[in-house]
Amino acid sequence: MKINKEGYWIIVITGLLCLSIWALVYFLIDTHIAIMWFMAAFLLVFWFFVAAFFREPKRVQIHDDELLFSPCDGRVVVTEVVKDDEYIHEEMMQISIFMSVTNVHMNWMPVRGMVEYFKHHHGRFLVAWHPKSSTENERTTTVVRLANGDKVLIRQIAGFVARRIVSYMKPGTEVEQNSVMGFIKFGSRVDILVPKDTELYVEIGDPVIGSQTPIARLKRRD
């Protein structure tokens, strides 16, 4: 299992913390063998669980300019028309995907184009499915201009557990479809805002796989 670089220090620190706790248990209750073995097993499982948060799967990179791919693993929780008041200032179709703590936490770029806008917003840490999490939570906003002139907005959102968002996006750079765009530590949510006439392929409740599941088809602009 390959580990994403964003998890190196957390995994090391967690491992040292688990060793310290086990050493403390060993010196305090060294006569209770059953408890010592239980704590050792519990701490080892916990450490592997933390390491699994940062797993980096090997996936085939798919390219299709007419398709919009899921930016993350998870489950669709929102498909609705909303008004973007941050940058595009138009009504857009929003698709929101919730990432649980058991999902892969990497984020992929759902389209190919040029990064036109990027901003990191400090904010609250409401649960990710809360309606106000898109506008009030800690989040990043990335807007990509496609070759046909359309704009797609991707929003990484921190949740109640997730407190750290990593984005590799920089304005003015070209991005490839399904390339790695960032990481949300310990799960949360990703919103994608696309033109309102986009044809959706998913419904609320559908499971999706990041960089592999087509979630919409973009309209041609001839």
CB 173 within 8 A of CB 71: no
Q: Which of the residues 133, 167, 188, 211 is marked catalytic?
A: 188
Transcribe the chain into DSSP letters: --B-GGGHHHHHHHHHHHHHHHHHHHHHSTT-HHHHHHHHHHHHHHHHHHHHHTB---------TTEEE-SSSEEEEEEEEEE--SSS-SEEEEEEEEE-TTS--EEE-SS-EEEEEEEEE--B---TTSTTHHHHBSEEEEEEE-TTS-EEEEEEE--SS--EEEE---TT-EE-TT-EEEEEET-EEEEEEEETTPEE---TT-EE-TTT-EEEEPPP--
The distance in angstroms from the start CA to the end CA of the chain is 45
Residue type, 112: R
Is 100 among the residues known to form the active site? no
Q: Which residues are catalytic?
A: 188
